Amino acid sequence: MSTTICCLLYGDYAKLADRCLRPISELYNNGVEVRLGCNEISQDTEDLINKLLPPSERLTVIKHNPQVYKYPIMRELFNVKPITTDKVMWFDDDSFIKDTNPIGWLNSTQEFMDNTKANMIGSLYYMPVSHKQQQWRRLHCSWFKPELHKSKACFATGGWWTIKSEVITKYDWPHPMLKHRGGDVLLGELMSHAGLKLVRYNTGIGINSDSEGKESQSKRRGYDEPPI
């Protein structure tokens, strides 16, 4: 398999963790590397991890209590050891593989990315970019090109996406100033300004899903802040 799977788990939400991790465990049991970032997880969630993902050299688990928020733990997961696969797939814990054949789904997802020559795939949305955000990018993002700035950013919503590992390495993603919100839009802008290919894909995957699996309907939990 040419994909490393990274997943963010938070709090006392063992049912969400189970929905997310159970299909991922099938991939893990078939040779896929999995990295878990755990922010203030409960004992029930920890027990679930131990049950579904027995220790091996293909499993990395990073725990923080109190939590360090989404993007600092993402940086840890990406940098704790070298990424040896061509792609990295990201899950928030309210996203999950819907397809009943996770192995076949992963193969199809990898093939789609290869065939479309995409640098990143995910479920695409658009968000206005404020003047202050534009100025922040100008000051803090080496890839920012003022002539390419648009009033709306196209981005893959942050609950699930897959990206070429070389993008993470080359651009040191995620930005070290990111804390918890705004990273998905910022990554979308990076893709655009760097001339990279972002392609729509949400086949067989529930992203930020509610109990019925509807996309982007999961309720926000825990810490919140304005987007960077």
Counting residues of the chain whose pLDDT is more than 70, the rounded percentage is 93
For the chain, the residue count is 228
Q: What is the pLDDT of residues 17-55, one digit of tens each?
A: 999 999 999 999 999 999 999 999 999 999 999 999 999
- Specify whether the CB–CB gap between 24 and 97 falls below 8 A: yes
The model's pTM: 0.94
Q: What is the pLDDT of residues 78-112, one digit of tens each?
A: 999 999 999 999 999 999 999 999 999 999 999 99
Q: At what angle do helices 14-28 and 102-116 cross, to 10 degrees?
A: 70
- Name the band, by pLDDT with cuts 50, 70 and 90, for residue 149: confident
Chain position carrying tokens 């990554």: 187
Structurally, at CATH architecture level, domain 3-120+158-179+197-206 sits in Alpha-Beta Complex (3.90)
Q: Give the sign of the dihedral formed by CA 200, CA 205, CA 209, CA 211.
A: positive
Token pair belonging to 68: 């360090």
Beta pairing partners, 91: 7, 160
Q: Provide the pLDDT for residue 208.
A: 84
The rounded distance, in Å, linking the Cα atoms of 218 and 94 is 7
Q: What is the CA radius of gyration of the chain?
A: 17
Among the ranges given (1-15, 48-62, 65-79, 211-225), the one the predictor scored with the smallest mean pLDDT: 211-225
The rounded distance, in Å, linking the Cα atoms of 18 and 213 is 14
**Angle in degrees, CA 83, 87, 93, rounded to 5:** 90
Beta pairing partners, 156: 124
Q: Provide the pLDDT for residue 227.
A: 73
Taking alpha carbons only, the member of 19, 10, 73, 71 closest to residue 42 is: 10
Q: Provide the pLDDT for residue 213.
A: 61
- Specify whether the CB–CB gap between 118 and 198 falls below 8 A: yes
* CA distances (Å), origin 38, targets 46, 90, 111, 169, 174: 9, 14, 30, 23, 17
Q: What is the pLDDT of residues 166-200, one digit of tens each?
A: 999 999 999 999 998 899 999 999 999 999 999 99
Taking alpha carbons only, the member of 136, 41, 94 closest to residue 220 is: 94
Checking if the pLDDT of 216 tops 60, the result is no
Chain position carrying tokens 């970032």: 37
Taking alpha carbons only, the member of 79, 93, 155, 150 closest to residue 121 is: 155
